[in-house]
Amino acid sequence: MKSASILARALVYGVILTIAIAVVGSLIGYLVAGLPGLVSALLGAGLTALFMVFTSLSIVLAAKVTKGEPSSTLFFGIVLGSWLLKFVVFIAVLVALRGAEFLQPLVFFFSILAAVIGSLAVDVVAFVGSRVPYVGNIPLPGDAGDGGPESTGSNAQKP
């Protein structure tokens, strides 16, 4: 499975997570704090979606810039730069929403906490469910054309 498949799987799971946080968080938020709780949970779910898109776009951009070489320093620089951008955007959102009357801080906090834990789980499930080789295209013993005794037939012992 290629890294694009893993990314696509993580995005699908991320959409499911975002919808779950929006639905469950809104219901709990409305029951706990009324309309401000509902709005707070929806804002938390919206931030979840926004940050997952940032992550996906940074990986796609880094892969294009480095021509698919994920061990490149530039690849990691782009991904870490987007992480820094997400952090700055998150702080800016918190500052902009500080003291807003339509926001219930505890519901907002718990929806973001659920999003962080859920997105980590999504990434783990998407990666663990994939089959990514540890090494590149290295011929293994017994493969055709690897130059081993099985491929040439000259040194192979026959029972």
Residue 156's SS3 state is coil
Listed in sequence order, the residues at least 6 apart from 14 whose beta carbon sits closer than 8 Å to its beta carbon are 48, 49, 52, 119, 122
User: What are 36-80's pLDDT values in tens digits?
Assistant: 999 999 999 999 888 888 888 888 888 889 887 878 899 889 989
Q: Does residue 146 lie in a domain region?
A: no
Q: Does residue 137 lie in a domain region?
A: no
What is the spatial distance between Cα 66 and Cα 40, in angstroms, rounded to a whole number?
39
The answer to whether the beta carbons of residues 148 and 141 sit under 8 Å apart is yes
pLDDT of residue 68: 76
Q: Does residue 109 lie in a domain region?
A: yes
Q: Which domain holds residue 117?
A: 3-132
Q: Does residue 148 lie in a domain region?
A: no
Binned at pLDDT 50, 70 and 90, residue 1 comes out as very low
Q: Does residue 143 lie in a domain region?
A: no
Helix 35-65 and helix 3-33, axial crossing angle in degrees, nearest 10? 170
Q: Does residue 100 lie in a domain region?
A: yes
Q: Does residue 82 lie in a domain region?
A: yes
Q: Does residue 139 lie in a domain region?
A: no
Number of structural domains (the chain) is 1
